[in-house]
Amino acid sequence: MSHPVRVAVIGAGVAGLAVARELRREGLDVVVFEKSHHLGGTWRYDQRIDSDPVGSDPNREVVHTSLYRSLRTNLPRQLMGFLDYPFPDRPDGDSRTFPGHEEVLWFLNKFADEFGLVGLIRFGWEVVRVERVSGRSDSWVVESSTCDSVLSREIFGAVVVCSGHFTQPRVPTIPGIEKWPGYQIHSHNYRVPEPFRDQVKCVSEDRLVAFDDGSSVYADVILYCTGYKHHYPFLETNGIVTIEDNRVGPLYKHVFPPALAPWLSFIGITEKDIIFEMMELQCKWVARVLSGKVLLPTEKEMMDYVEEYYQQIEKDGFPRHMTHYLHFKEIGYCNWLAAEVGLPPREPWREEMYLESIKPLLLGTLENYRDQWDDAHWNAIIKDASLTQK
């Protein structure tokens, strides 16, 4: 394989930072485009919200993050770091096992500083178009723009998409919604509880919300917690990569479109797993494939895999929009990635801790679970595991 000279990475969130580190480790030349003036992506809290709180107006002003002010991680800090760069305790920081979002941003800044990644990032440059140079799969035009519309056009050997997928609200169509007089907002735009305090006390006939099972409520606010859409407005692949009902495809192992591999790849499309670890392994895989150290199967073999995977999802009764959810579908996914890049499988304590941390979600017992976490129990398990390793 001829090596790409330069790799364009789109986004400087967890995925973009992690892949920049891995690409550089493989000796590749990296430019990270970041449309905002900061790194951290989702983890940079912003009190502003979109100009359309539901998020359906395509011309609205968009705020990238979906964090609310009081958000704490949904995984314990031991699962919020990278494999070789754990999430540390710091005496002057938020020492809770499930820390607030500020602590994660602090960690990402520290990670970027420590590995010299900040200098690779072009802050304030939004990628507006990515397209193959005609007839070549290893040559891509990347157009980017500043907020005052200065446009730049460059050629790269490969593009890694790390633009996140928790910004574009997925909003259901509800018959009659255009006449409903209450306030509507998607969770992407929820920041603080104060504006909603005491509102449902007041009902009026006009504010009826009816449900399929015949029940109804009077409400002042509809808060859509209906998820997000994958959205790549900059990407032009002549129909090779499509998004159908939130399935981005075809993608081999949720990363490489077979017909464009390895020159185009996506990090972090998958969800419902230990996110940082999963993304880090995807990044290592992409970097090693691009450096020629790890080989991909043929295009046909990758397509066959994708087809089989789709058939399996359907057979198991999972809807298409859950294509990239790993829970219970692809339990061995991270171990497969680890094997590809020569790492051992996930340590058992990590898997056990992850399963324990998603139990409240599955059982609907989310309230207080973070503060009822049995630290002593888990610390003992981790200590035992590290002694066994020695």
List residues near ligand FAD by CB under 6 A: 10-16, 33-36, 41-43, 64, 66-67, 73-75, 80, 126-127, 162-164, 166, 234, 268, 275-276
DSSP assignment string, 242-297: EEETTEEES-BTTTB-GGGTTTEEESS--BSS-HHHHHHHHHHHHHHHHTTSS---
Q: Which is nearer to ligand FAD, 150 or 217 (CB)?
A: 150
Q: Could you tell me the smallest distance in angstroms from the CB atom of residue 120 to ligand FAD?
A: 13
Residue 75 vs 117, nearer CB to ligand FAD:
75
Cα-trace Rg, the chain: 22
**Look-up: residue for tokens 């540390």?**
88
In the complex with ligand FAD, the residue whose CB is nearer, 34 or 50, is 34
Given phi > 0 = left and psi -120 to 50 = alpha, else beta, which region is 221?
beta
Nearer Cβ to ligand FAD, position 304 or 356?
356
Quick check: helix, strand or coil at residue 299?
Answer: helix
Q: In a 10 Å sphere around its CB, with 0-12 CB exposed, 13-18 middle and 19+ buried, how is residue 102 labelled?
A: middle
Concatenate the DSSP letters of all residues of 361-384 into one string: HHHT--TTTTTT--HHHHHHHHHH
Provide, rounded to whole angstroms, the least separation between the CB of residue 111 and ligand FAD.
12
Q: How far apart are CA 335 and CA 149, in angstroms?
A: 44
Which amino acid, one-letter code, is at 236?
E
Q: Which is nearer to ligand FAD, 66 or 265 (CB)?
A: 66
Least distance in Å: CB of 107 to ligand FAD? 11
Judged by CB, which is closer to ligand FAD: 166, or 373? 166
Closest CB 33 distance from ligand FAD, rounded Å: 4
Contact 338, 283 (CB under 8 A): no
